[in-house]
Amino acid sequence: KEYYIDPVTKESQWEHPNSMSNKLSSGRKAANGGQVQVLHILVKHTGSRNPKNYKGETITRSKTEARNRLDGLYSTEFIYIYILIYCIY
């Protein structure tokens, strides 16, 4: 399931955010000429479906530690950032 967070407003939702296109079309432009870069970041944790990294090593990070790591990645250098987090239950 996909979970979206807007680090600027701290709003989160399960549905795809339509606000980004609304904000860009309302006169605000992205810093790089109107293009928007989207980052999809996955931080695995022990509860992930396949808790192994690309080297095949077992992940020992808790879900809380994974969340804290993502919180540290937030940046205000971009006008709008939506980080897509895959929550595996």
Alpha-carbon distance values, 67 to 60, 61, 88 (Å): 14, 10, 12
Q: How confident is the model over 64-75, as pLDDT tens digits?
A: 998 888 777 665
Q: How confident is the model over 27-80, as pLDDT tens digits?
A: 445 555 556 566 677 888 999 888 998 889 999 999 999 888 877 766 543 334
pTM: 0.43
- Distance between CA atoms of 5 and 69, rounded to whole angstroms? 14
CA atoms within 13 A on the CB side of 33: 0
Neighbours of 81 (CB within 10 A): 19
Structural domains of the chain, count:
1
Question: By residue range, what is the domain housing residue 19?
Answer: 1-89
